[in-house]
């Protein structure tokens, strides 16, 4: 009897506290989120000034299936709006244009964000229709897609291309593909600088199940091929060299001695096995799809992988310094094929 009571109480508490995000609208700089049960919701707002990202977190809120995960707005206030739901917390992230101010009002089961230009205070004239996506089945895993570099950090540049641009374009396609089966979070969706440790923190805060970082390699004119990496305390001289370049943007963080990191040995081993297995399949997909040289799967001390609690890999899809490597990735269809190969390799390990 007592057990039944406890069970009932548990069920009651879920009924009492869970809410549903029913509908969202955006028009002329006014975003409205409408909740079904009209209960008081535990909400917190954070604004990242340097990246102009406003994030609203709603505790114990389920997002209705037909609400699109990403809305490309691109008016004078907002670039993109994304909605994610992880472990009972729904997050609406507004990627704002620089100089956009916001005001939040909460009333009777609605949250309204009103945007204006900081300086002139003028109001917008454009409107955007929300296009619902197909209802999706419940997604079990959260995957973080990390486009390497960004903002002041261009990564490697060669042949008139910047690593940060190609990495972002490939990552966006990868994220879109993975969204069919997973909750997907991108560490960046625009050309912004994000410190390496913040990228890992984004994954850890979301309780991510997997982290994949997309990069392009640089080397001498004859260097070519693809390679993948997982985090390892031991590394070969070659792998250390690649890690040194990718870590260089954030040397303050990247150079912290390994001994200062509390790395749980059991998780370290489990993550390493899983990471290496996915890294192998991802590399095989690139090699077989594009005929690139198979440079190998390596363990290395990448700062961005080291800080992530989940299994994590870094993919060097080819050499930006070698035109025949990147030539195949320049078309939309090439990027699409690359992204779908990587996504399918990841799928094999998360189902």
Binding site for Zn ion (CB under 5 A): 148, 155, 215, 246
CB atoms within 10 A of CB 207: 13
Task: In whole angstroms, give the CA distance from residue 27 to residue 61.
Answer: 23
Kindly tell me the burial class for residue 36, based on how many C-beta atoms sit within 10 Å of its own C-beta (0-12, 13-18, 19 or more): middle
In the complex with Zn ion, the residue whose CB is nearer, 79 or 246, is 246
Task: In whole angstroms, give the CA distance from residue 170 to residue 178.
Answer: 12
Name the one residue in this structure whose structure tokens are 């997907």: 184
Nearest to 214 by CA among 150, 149, 146: 146
CB of 167: closest distance to Zn ion in angstroms?
A: 7
Distance of CA 75 to the CA centre of its chain: 23
CB of 319: closest distance to Zn ion in angstroms?
A: 11
Name the one residue in this structure whose structure tokens are 């390994």: 258
Task: In whole angstroms, give the CA distance from residue 6 to residue 246.
Answer: 52
- Contact between 228 and 313 under an 8 Å Cβ cutoff? The reply is yes
CB of 228: closest distance to Zn ion in angstroms?
A: 13
In the complex with Zn ion, the residue whose CB is nearer, 52 or 224, is 224
CB of 155: closest distance to Zn ion in angstroms?
A: 4
| DSSP run (H or E) holding 130 | none
Distance of CA 276 to the CA centre of its chain: 20
CB of 79: closest distance to Zn ion in angstroms?
A: 24
SS (H, E, C) 13-44: HHHHHCEEEEEEEEECCEEEEEECCCCCCCEE
In the complex with Zn ion, the residue whose CB is nearer, 29 or 307, is 307
CB of 149: closest distance to Zn ion in angstroms?
A: 6
- Contact between 183 and 84 under an 8 Å Cβ cutoff? The reply is yes
């Amino acid at each position: 009897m007592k057990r039944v009571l406890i069970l009932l109480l548990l069920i009651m508490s879920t009924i009492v506290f869970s809410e549903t995000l029913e509908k969202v609208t955006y028009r002329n700089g006014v975003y409205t989120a409408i909740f079904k049960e009209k209960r008081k919701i535990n909400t917190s707002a954070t604004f990242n000034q340097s990246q102009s990202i406003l994030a609203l977190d709603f505790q114990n809120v389920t997002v209705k299936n037909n609400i699109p995960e990403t809305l490309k707005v691109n008016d004078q206030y907002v670039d993109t709006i994304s909605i994610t739901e992880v472990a009972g917390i729904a997050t609406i992230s507004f990627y704002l244009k620089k100089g956009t101010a916001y005001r939040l009002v909460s009333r009777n089961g609605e949250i309204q964000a009103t945007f204006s230009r900081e300086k002139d205070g003028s109001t917008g004239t454009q409107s955007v229709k929300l296009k619902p996506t197909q209802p999706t089945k419940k997604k079990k895993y959260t995957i973080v897609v990390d486009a390497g570099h960004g903002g002041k950090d261009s990564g490697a540049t060669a042949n008139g291309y910047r690593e940060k641009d190609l990495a972002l374009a490939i990552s966006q396609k990868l994220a879109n593909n993975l969204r069919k089966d997973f909750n997907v979070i991108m560490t960046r969706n625009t050309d912004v600088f994000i410190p390496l440790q913040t990228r890992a923190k984004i994954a850890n805060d979301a309780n991510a199940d997997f982290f994949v970082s997309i990069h392009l390699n640089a080397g001498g004119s004859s260097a070519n091929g693809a390679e993948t990496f997982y985090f390892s305390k031991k590394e070969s001289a070659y792998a250390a060299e690649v890690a040194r370049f990718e870590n260089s943007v954030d040397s303050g963080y990247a150079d912290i001695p390994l001994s200062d990191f509390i790395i749980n040995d059991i998780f370290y081993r489990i993550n390493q096995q899983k990471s290496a297995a996915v890294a192998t399949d991802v590399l095989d997909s690139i090699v077989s799809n594009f005929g690139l040289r198979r440079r190998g799967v390596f363990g290395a001390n990448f700062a961005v992988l080291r800080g992530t609690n989940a299994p994590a890999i870094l993919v060097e899809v080819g050499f930006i310094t070698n035109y025949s490597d990147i030539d195949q990735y320049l078309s939309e269809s090439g990027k699409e094929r690359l992204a779908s190969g990587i996504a399918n390799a990841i799928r094999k390990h998360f189902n």
